[in-house]
Structure 1
Amino acid sequence: MAEFVHVTTAAVARRVRRSGIAARGHARRGVYCMPVLPSFTFTYQWVRELRRWHPGVLVAVHLRLPDDEPVTVGHYNAEPRQLTAAQAVAAIRGLDDPRGWEVFVPRSITVAEVRRIRDVPQGVGWRYLPGAHGRRPCPCPACVTPGQFKSARLSRRYDL
């Protein structure tokens, strides 16, 4: 059985305990998750990025899927590959840098597959994109949205 982690808001935790994780999405309906890896930081890498879009506290839902479960795996901005759950875990574990990788389960997760729900530190992982720490933000108008943190200063830098 392959072990995965799904990150969601704490407000949804009671519903997940009662009825599992609902498949969501527009074009493809399913659940995004990450395999449990030996590195705590890599396992919960999506927490910090998801905090930008989901207000409140995030929690980790640990789930166990059958090894032959069909899933898609890939980097978040690349075309995903169709693999089984066990192959997806092996593929991500074999990477030197698994930051930005994700697994997509194209169905809902049942209550029986949910193992536990735990609190996680809210600052774990990366923001904006993997490896962005220490790089200056792009000051062009396409990348800086009005009202964004320090957007006026970035706009002035672009005009110079």
Structure 2
Amino acid sequence: MTLFTHLSPADDIRSIRRAGIRARSRDHEGRAGVFCLPVMPSYQITHQWGRELHRRGGRRTMVAVDFRLPDDEPVLVGRYNHRHIERTSAEAAALIAGCEDARGYEVFVPRAIGAREIHRVRGVNRVTGWRYMPNAHGRFPCPCCLARGEYGSAKIRKKAESRGY
């Protein structure tokens, strides 16, 4: 059994403990499921999405929900902005663990996670991770990738227009 972690707002803890993690996220093809990462020796890689989710979602406190999947369960794995490939959960964990730079990778489980599969719920450090994309420090964010109404998006689009983007 492979151990994975899913980052969720702390407001959802009671619901998650009672009913599990709902399949409310969508992958690139529109399938419902849950985004997660395998628990790795590196805290930063395991919780790399924390800072981006905190800033984009506007939630103050995030929690990590650790759950186990059978090693032969099919999942999708890949970088967040590339096409994902289907692998078993054990192969997906090994693929990410074997990467020289695993930042930006994600695993998509195309189903809900039941309450019985949850191993534990714990708090996470919210400053861990990256913003916009890995290695984005010092680079201007892409204005077309930001949703309208998102915090700071109007300022970024205005600055991009003045630069001629």
Mark yes or no: TM-score above 0.5: yes
Match of 2:42 in 1: 39
- TM-score normalized with structure 1 length: 0.88
Distance change >3 Å, CA 142–CA 3, structure 1 → 2? closer
For residues 143 and 154 of structure 1, do their structure 2 counterparts lie closer, same or farther at Cα, with a shift above 3 Å needed?
Answer: farther
Superposed CA offset, 1:51-95 (max 9, x none): 122222111101111101110101011111100000000000000
Residues 29, 151 of structure 1: CA spacing in aligned structure 2 closer, same or farther, 3 A cutoff? closer
Partner Cα separation in structure 2 for residue 90 and residue 156 of structure 1: 43
- Does the alignment pair 1:58 with 2:44? no
Match of 1:101 in 2: 105
Preserved CA contact (<8 Å) 2:141 2:156: no
Match of 1:28 among 9, 26, 31: 31
Contact 2:25 2:35 in 1 (8 A): no
Structure 2 distance, partners of 1:152, 1:28, is: 30
**Matched positions, count:** 157
Runs of 4+ in structure 1 deviating by more than 2 angstroms, as ranges, are 134-138, 141-157
Distance 1:105 1:84 in 2: 10
Q: How does 1:148-159 map to 2 (within 5 A)?
A: 148=153, 150-151=155-156, 154-155=159-160, 157-158=162-163
1:1-160 equivalences under 5 Å are 1-25=1-25, 27-56=30-59, 57-137=61-141, 142=144, 147-148=152-153, 150-151=155-156, 154-155=159-160, 157-158=162-163
C-alpha RMSD over aligned residues: 2.2
Deviation digits for residues 27-66 of structure 1 (CA, Å, limit 9, x no counterpart): 2011110011111000000001111222221111011111
Measured in 1, the distance between the counterparts of 2:3 and 2:103 equals 18
C-alpha distance 22-143 of structure 1, shift in aligned 2 (>3 A)? closer
Moved more, 22-31 or 36-45: 22-31
Unmatched 5+ residue regions in structure 1?
none
| Gap runs ≥5 in structure 2 | none
Note the C-alpha offset of 1:155.
Answer: 4.9
3-state secondary structure, aligned to 2:22: coil
Q: Which amino acid counterpart does residue 154 of structure 1 have in structure 2?
A: K
Over alpha carbons, which structure has the higher Rg? 1
Counterpart of 2:4 in 1: which secondary structure? strand
